[in-house]
Amino acid sequence: MTNRQIVVAELPQGTLMPEHFRLEDTTTPDPAEGEVLLRTILMSIDAANRGWLNGPTYRAAVEAGDVMPTYAICEVMESRSPRLTPGDIVAAETVWADYVALPARVVQKLPPVRPLTHLHSVYGIAGKTAFHGLLSVGKPLAGETIVVSAAAGSVGGYVGQIGKALGCRVVGIAGGPEKCSFVTDALGFDACVDYRAGGVFKALRAACPDGIDVYFDNVGGEILETTLMLMNERGRIVCCGAISQYENTTPVGPRNLPGMLVVKRLRMEGFIVMDFAKDDAKAIRALQTWVAKGQIKVIEDVVEGLENAPQALIGLLNGDNRGKRMVRVGPDPEGSQ
Amino acid sequence: MTNRQIVVAELPQGTLMPEHFRLEDTTTPDPAEGEVLLRTILMSIDAANRGWLNGPTYRAAVEAGDVMPTYAICEVMESRSPRLTPGDIVAAETVWADYVALPARVVQKLPPVRPLTHLHSVYGIAGKTAFHGLLSVGKPLAGETIVVSAAAGSVGGYVGQIGKALGCRVVGIAGGPEKCSFVTDALGFDACVDYRAGGVFKALRAACPDGIDVYFDNVGGEILETTLMLMNERGRIVCCGAISQYENTTPVGPRNLPGMLVVKRLRMEGFIVMDFAKDDAKAIRALQTWVAKGQIKVIEDVVEGLENAPQALIGLLNGDNRGKRMVRVGPDPEGSQ
């Protein structure tokens, strides 16, 4: 049985390009004792994937010749473990491939949620990252002002919608007028600043008349530097990602760090969604409540076909996506979209 | 009665020089109703004073023509307030001058501690800054590794000694072999890295075989960038100051921020000693206990004469001091040193 897989042909220096990947045909693996054979249904495409190609992060570095790693929703096809049964829908750290064999103990059985795409978006990495980062690190209170960058992206859109549900003023930062309209009109943010239009400091100051209490940072770099200038005393900066730096071969640090932290007594803190796994059930219940009340809209951006995964990631790094991007490799066995 | 005062003649751009100050003779002020006339005894000289000359911080910017602000220990000479009596020893935000009149409500009566210098050093700004920053922001546990920069300075020396008293491994960073010997031999740090000798990353890595759990940052800039690379997961960076940047007209931010915070889930937090005033009594009791047990040595660096205040500050910014620097303007009425 043929198994397609996408290998990292060469590690990128700077901008990620299609030639950094190679599609290969290989054979479908046989699960060993204790393992399961998984069929990939939906692969999550995240900015962090680009970071993995730069060196070790919270996971080992990806090397040239490796099959590209990913986080995916899969169907169990064969099981040599009592923990799982064929037909189970699971999530796991897998690779860009049609099939993969993994030890059953590293595979997580998923709840019976449909459509499956929601397990990557609002009830998956995107929604949980927004929830845990905002509530556990940012700790906003009603009436405070939250700013979030990459506001039209997967995490940013949920951060803003959760912030609104909590009674905060929410201001997004996004690239281009079309995205900014999406952020205010479709997602309901109070305002959105177009960083490509220039004059970000003035525009952000105008959009935040009471200053900024929580900045949820997905981008780092100059936007972080600008936002720091507008933070209120004892503000919190939630460090979720630094998409502006992943492809930057000459990174620049915010020049007002650490000075601004001292002067304004700011707290700046990084986190990874997995750190809060013990609170995932609470997060899901809250997110379900807001979805049911219509306070959170679920925006998904599904790219069809394993072979399109490289372009899906390249496009995401260029800001092409609206909402949570994922690649559909195969069908949901229950036939949902 | 003549009153000498030192005025900021011109705001510095870059390196602070004697010509940025001017000594003037003026008259001793008459206290108004509700005010006290204070005679300056000891003025605290701090790196933060240089920051005040760059623009607004946690206090208003100093302007050219202003008498240079300071924090000083004074004797009450005349009182037009029921709150204070002539002969009282007090602390206040004053200026570089022999005499100053201030509202009694902004003046803090000091406990009967001798020598008075200890009210600037171990029981004053230096000791309290080290205590509150390390315990309330850094939160080290016995067995963890603490790194502190400007380790031979006033705050750094107490941070390290408190860290040792708490059972931590303590590594200093200081400039030059003589200072590094002082830090290890006189202050009892486990190791000290000479940042002027180059190879700071390798030297620091060798001195911290278990990585860094708490970095108490007094300097910012490149040393912060280097230290971030060696932080353990969930480490804490206590942002106390950024002495490397105060005279830098082209500041450079740590290029690995915010990336390192995300990858390692670090918390980086600024503070000002006044934020923790409600815990000052606890701090003083703990510091007195450690001093009594011989676990904290009190190192003081007293410069004699108001007229030498500019050079005392310039020298501090060059790293000339060992321990807490202050300027003695007049005698303790009880005659202590």
Residue pair B74/B94 in contact by the 8 Å Cβ criterion: yes
Residue A251: per-residue pLDDT: 85
Put simply, the answer to whether A268 touches B267 (Cβ < 8 Å) is yes
Residue A171 pLDDT grade (very low, low, confident, very high; cuts 50, 70, 90): very high
Q: Is the peptide bond before B56 cis (omega within 30 degrees of 0)?
A: no
Mean of per-residue pLDDT scores for chain B: 96
Put simply, the answer to whether B251 touches A251 (Cβ < 8 Å) is no
On the question of pLDDT at A93 being above 80, the answer is yes
Does B217 share its domain with B84?
no
Question: Does A95 reside within a domain?
Answer: yes
Interface test with A, best of B217, B268, B272 (most A CBs within 10 A): B268
Question: Does A334 reside within a domain?
Answer: no
Task: Evaluate if pTM is beyond 0.80.
Answer: yes
Rounded-to-integer distance, Cα B190 and Cα B208, Å: 10
Here the CATH number for the domain that contains residue A183 is 3.40.50.720
Does A265 share its domain with A320?
no
Q: What range defines the domain where residue B114 resides?
A: 2-121+299-328
Question: Does A333 reside within a domain?
Answer: no
Residue B247 pLDDT grade (very low, low, confident, very high; cuts 50, 70, 90): confident
Put simply, the answer to whether B254 touches A253 (Cβ < 8 Å) is yes
Which residues in chain B have their CB less than 8 angstroms from residue A227's CB? Answer: none
- What is the total count of domains within chain B? 2
Residue B30: per-residue pLDDT: 96
Interface test with A, best of B261, B266, B276 (most A CBs within 10 A): B261
Which residues in chain B have their CB less than 8 angstroms from residue A132's CB? Answer: none
Q: Which amino acid is it at A78?
A: E
pLDDT (tens digit per residue) in A213-260: 999 999 999 999 999 999 999 999 999 999 888 888 888 899 999 999
Cα dihedral sign, A223-A224-A229-A231: positive
**Cα-to-chain-centroid distance, residue A274:** 12
Does A152 share its domain with A82?
no
Task: Tell which residue, A84, A5, A72, A8, has the closest CA to residue A42.
Answer: A72
On the question of pLDDT at B115 being above 90, the answer is yes
Which residues in chain A have their CB less than 8 angstroms from residue B220's CB? Answer: 257-259
Residue A58 pLDDT grade (very low, low, confident, very high; cuts 50, 70, 90): confident
Put simply, the answer to whether A265 touches B263 (Cβ < 8 Å) is no
Interface test with B, best of A239, A255, A276 (most B CBs within 10 A): A239
Please indicate whether residue A112 or residue B231 has the higher confidence score (pLDDT). Answer: B231
Here the CATH number for the domain that contains residue A77 is 3.90.180.10
B297 SS3 class: coil
Mean pLDDT of B29-54: 96
The answer to whether A223 contacts chain B (CB < 8 Å) is no
Tokens of A222: 């100059």
pLDDT (tens digit per residue) in B51-98: 999 988 888 899 999 999 999 999 999 999 999 999 999 999 999 999
Does B33 share its domain with B135?
no
pLDDT (tens digit per residue) in B128-168: 999 999 999 999 999 999 999 999 999 999 999 999 999 99
The answer to whether A243 contacts chain B (CB < 8 Å) is no
Q: Is the peptide bond before A258 cis (omega within 30 degrees of 0)?
A: yes
Q: Which of A225, A242, A255 sits opposite B262 (nearest CB)?
A: A242
Tokens of A67: 């099959």
Does A99 share its domain with A26?
yes
Put simply, the answer to whether A270 touches B261 (Cβ < 8 Å) is yes
How many Cα atoms sit within 13 Å of B306 on the Cβ side? 25
The answer to whether A55 contacts chain B (CB < 8 Å) is no
Does A225 share its domain with A95?
no
On the question of pLDDT at B337 being above 70, the answer is no
Put simply, the answer to whether B262 touches A240 (Cβ < 8 Å) is yes
Residue pair A3/A28 in contact by the 8 Å Cβ criterion: yes
Q: State how far residue A243 is from chain B, nearest Cα, in angstroms.
A: 9
Concatenated DSSP letters of B91-116: EEEEESBSEEEEEGGG-EEPPS-SSG
The answer to whether A265 contacts chain B (CB < 8 Å) is yes
Strands A191-194 and A21-27, how do they pair? Answer: unpaired
Residue A337: per-residue pLDDT: 58
Concatenated DSSP letters of B30-93: PP-TTEEEEEEEEEE--HHHHHHTTS-SSSPPP-TTSBPEEEEEEEEEEESSTT--TT-EEEEE
